[in-house]
Amino acid sequence: MAAPLPAPPPSAALVDGFGRAIDYLRVSVTDRCDFRCVYCMSETVTFVPKADVLRLEELERLCRAFIDLGVRRLRLTGGEPLIRPGIMGLIRGLGNLIGAGKLDELNLTTNASRLETLAAELAECGVRRINVSLDTLDPDRFRALTRHGDLTRVLAGIEAARKAGLAVKINCVALKGINEDEYDRIIGWCGERGFDLTLIEVMPLGDSGQQLGPSQFLSLDEVRRRLEQTWSLEPLALRTGGPARYHRIKETGCRLGLITPITGSFCESCNRVRLTATGRLYLCLGREQSVDLRAPLRSTAPEDTAALYAELRRAIAHKPEGHGFAPGTCPPAPAITRPMNITGG
């Protein structure tokens, strides 16, 4: 039997300047996507040049360094993570770290366009939970919102994930006048399948301001009040270090998360940072601060882990105290110029 792995020394933990331990890394493995969701990217989006993107082995090396320094949860996102060629190799490599006791969770956020063929392999690689973006159950509305998406294929992907034993959470961006008439239906649909649901306030990122007006911002406080007329929402104490507040929907038994980056305050418990496909580390979704890790990654020999660890610690020290979103900053005046597909949510 293999010898138990030694526990990392306490000094291994990544702690920012405000005393917050960083144990959650989100990795945008590509900024590319097969959809063009209206709130995320424009039809004519320019992607980063392929030459600037880290190779998958480089991404894995960075992820492993973060894990050595105390990251216990990893989420792969994008763009659409499952369209990157070779992605299953990275997922398999990282999934092995769960078996080795070095990582607690490897999750994925996906639009589900490729999930039907990949769900079983994801489960086999150690993925246990996935978040799927689904803003509507109406095929025409889905096509209009995603510009390229095929709802039938996405629903088949979700079903394949369920069959493969993956816990599915549905992410739904709340859009005034676009899908606000559907939340009861989506809650019922999730309830029938045992899926948790998270509603997300649309954030003022990138050029979504040119596509969505301020009138499309919908406060989730308002949504919660409306839902309470139909559903019994029991607040849960569960906190994940992020912007979501959770409720149990008594009628379905499923959880409802409300992500309120605009109207909520959650920064004091933030435990996460975001790595882009080009090796840039964003310290806060709602701030522009970032640190390049590609140059130090490429200039340090793979065996010189100490030098890379030192760079990661230096980067984490730049994490700002809180985000800069405020009510009234929603489109068309984006607070952050970088679009969501760069950091992946």
**Residue 103 and residue 90: Cα distance in Å, rounded?**
14
**Residue 121 and residue 132: Cα distance in Å, rounded?**
17
Q: For the chain, what is the radius of gyration of the CA atoms?
A: 20
With respect to ligand SAM, which residue has the nearer C-beta, 218 or 254?
218
CA distances for 311 relative to 30, 50, 57, 69, angstroms: 23, 24, 18, 12
Whether 11 contacts 122, CB under 8 Å: no
Interface with ligand SAM in residues 146-205 (CB under 6 A): 171, 173, 200, 202-203, 205
Phi, psi values for residue 77, rounded to 5° = -145, -160
- Distance between alpha carbon 191 and the CA centroid of its chain, in Å? 22
Interface with ligand SAM in residues 201-220 (CB under 6 A): 202-203, 205, 208
Site string for ligand SAM, 22-41 (x = CB under 6 A): -----------x-----xx-
9-17, 28-36, 82-90, 226-234 -> range binding ligand SF4 (CB under 6 A): 28-36
Interface with ligand SF4 in residues 89-148 (CB under 6 A): 111, 133
Site string for ligand SAM, 67-96 (x = CB under 6 A): ----------xx-x----------------
**Residue 130 and residue 123: Cα distance in Å, rounded?**
10
Phi, psi values for residue 285, rounded to 5° = -60, -30
Binding ligand SF4 (rule: CB under 6 A), the pick from 80, 135, 201, 311 is 80
Match 């369920």 to its residue by tokens. 162
Q: Which of ligand SF4, ligand SAM, none does residue 36 bind to, with CB < 5 to 8 Å depending on kind? A: ligand SF4
19-27, 52-60, 109-117, 295-303 -> range binding ligand SAM (CB under 6 A): 109-117
Q: Give me the residues that bind ligand SF4 (CB under 6 A), please.
A: 33, 35-37, 40-41, 78-80, 111, 133, 340-341
